[in-house]
Amino acid sequence: MKCSVLLAGLLLAGCVVQQTPEPVAVEPAYFTASERFLQNVHIKQADEFGITYEYRDVRIDEIAFLASQYCYEQKGRKAVLFDSQLYKNFSRRATFHCLELQK
C-alpha cells in the first residue's frame, strides 16, 4: 500500500504541466544605455589632442569606448587614458589623450 501511494505521488510529481510564459515587451538594451549615458556622462573639454569626460554610475570601460570613437574621428588616432580622478559629489573625471601610435 505504501509503495503504491509513493509510486502515485512520484507519477503526479513528474506530470507537472509546463506553461509557456507570455512574451513581455522589453526595451532594447541600447535604449536604456543611451538614456543612462545622456544623464550621467558630460564632456568637459575636447580638442584635437584629447577629451575629458565627467561621469557617474558608468564604468570607465564604457567611457573608453566613447573616447576611442572620438579620437578615431580626430585623424584616426587612438585613445589613451591619461588620468582618472574622483571629483565633486562622487562623480569622476577621465582624461583621454588622442595619440598616433607607431605602426
What domain count does the chain have? Answer: 1
Confidence category of residue 38, pLDDT binned at 50, 70, 90: confident
Is residue 98 assigned to a domain? yes
Closest CA to 56 of 44, 48, 46: 44
Of 13-17, 20-24, 51-55, 77-81, least confident by mean pLDDT is 13-17
Q: For residue 25, which amino acid is it? A: A
* 99 within domain boundaries: yes
Domain that holds residue 89: 34-103
* Cα 72 to chain centroid, rounded: 21
φ, ψ of residue 10 in degrees (nearest 5): -65, -40
Residue 31's pLDDT band (cuts 50, 70, 90) = low
Residue 18 lies in a domain: no
Is residue 89, in this structure, part of any structural domain at all? yes
In a domain, 25, yes or no: no
Residue 82 lies in a domain: yes
Q: What is the pLDDT of residue 40?
A: 92
Residue 70: inside a domain, yes or no?
yes
CA angle 72, 100, 79 (to 5 degrees): 50
> Who wins on pLDDT, 6 or 59?
59
Domain assignment present for residue 5? The answer is no
- Interval 39-85: pLDDT, tens: 999 999 999 999 999 999 999 999 999 999 999 998 899 999 999 99
80 touches 96 (CB < 8 A): yes
